[in-house]
Amino acid sequence: MKPSDKLKVAVLMGGPGGEREVSLKSGKAVATALREAGHEVMSYNVTGRSFPSLEEMKPDVCFVALHGAFGEDGTAQELLEQMDIPYTGSGPIASRLGMDKIASKRLFIRHSVPTADYLVITPMHTFEEAAAQTEQFGYPVVCKPAASGSSLGVSIVRRPDELRGAIQTARQEGHVVLAERYVRGREFTVGVLEGEALPVIELVVGRQFFDYKAKYEDEHTRYLTPVSLLPTIYRKTCEAAMRAYHAIGCRHLARVDMVYGYDGRLYVLEVNTIPGFTPRSLFPMAAAEAGIPFAALCDRLVRAALRDAAAAQRRRTA
C-alpha cells in the first residue's frame, strides 16, 4: 500500500440498543482487520444516539459496525450525511426499510421476492383480535418485533395458548409485532457484496430456530458451505437474495436470510443491512469462501464508501 492509499478510518461500534455487545465484537474485529490492511484506525464507542467529537476527529471514512437501533434504522446514516462523512453500508432510507420488517415485506411483494404470508399486530389490537387474525394461518406461526435484529424477541408459537406470551416477548423490543406463517425447511443465508451474491451458507441449529443464542453462543450451531443444493435451486437462492437487496435499495453489503421450504419454495425472511463482523459471523465467512480474506473485505468496503461519496459529490456539483 502506498502512503497515499492509507486512510483514516473511524470504526463506529456499540450503540444504545440491545445488540450493543455484538456490535462491540464486530467493531473490534473490523478495527484489527483495517489496521492489518495498513490504515490508521480509530475505534469509536457509541454510547448514545449521537456522535460527539466525531467531526473533530476528521476521519476520511467511517466503517459502520452498529447493529440494531440507531445503527441500522437510518438515524446514524442521516447524522453522517449531515456531517458530510463517507460511510460504509446502505443509506438512511434503505437502512430504515431493512430494519422495518413490515416495510420490507411490502417491498418484497412489490418486487416479486418470495416471502411468507404475514399479518401485523399493533398496540391498537386487543389480544382477542390478534388471536382471531392468527387463526388465519393455523399454527405454528412466528411472532417477531417489527423492528429489531439478532432475532431478539422472536418466538415460534405452536399452540394458541402460547400466543399471548409470544406477543409480550416481541413487544419488549417494539410495540408493533409481525406474525408470519412458519415455514418448515432448510435455513440459508446469502451475503450480497456490491450487488453480487456470495456463496450460500446453510445454517444447521440444535435449537428451535436461528435465535440469538444459536447465532452467538451455541457451539453446536453449524454452518455448511459449500451447500448441497441442485444447481437450479442454488441459482434461485442467489437471485432471490439479490432481488431482496435491490428491492430495499441496499448499498455495499447486506445479508439475506431465507428458508427453502419442504414444499419446494423459497421464502425470504429479512435483509440485514449491517450484518455481523464477529468471529462467528456469516457475511465474512461467505466472503472468505469466495476468496476474500477478512482484512481485504473490510478494506474493500471503506474504499467503496469513498468511491460512492465522491460520485455523489460529482453529481451534486455537475
Rounded CA separation 159/181 (Å): 13
As beta bridge partners, residue 270 has: 257
Grid cell listed for 55: 467531526
Q: Which long-range contacts (CB under 8 A, 24 or more apart) does 229-233 make?
A: 229/200, 229/260, 233/260, 233/266
Side-chain half-sphere CA neighbours of 181 within 13 A: 14
Active site residues: 19, 150, 216, 255, 257, 270, 272, 276
Rounded CA separation 133/128 (Å): 9
Given a contact cutoff of 8 angstroms between Cβ atoms, the answer to whether 261 and 234 are in contact is no
Name the residue type at position 67.
H
Q: Cis link prior to 226 (omega < 30° from 0)?
A: yes
- CA 227 centroid distance within chain: 21
For the chain, what is the largest distance between any 2 Cα atoms, rounded to a whole number of angstroms? 66
Classify burial at 125, counting beta carbons within 10 Å of its beta carbon; exposed 0-12, middle 13-18, buried 19 or more.
Answer: middle
Whole-Å CA distances, 288 to 83, 200, 234, 256: 33, 12, 19, 17
Query: Any idea what DSSP says for residue 43?
Result: E
End-to-end CA distance of the chain: 32
Rounded CA separation 57/43 (Å): 11
Grid cell listed for 28: 473490534
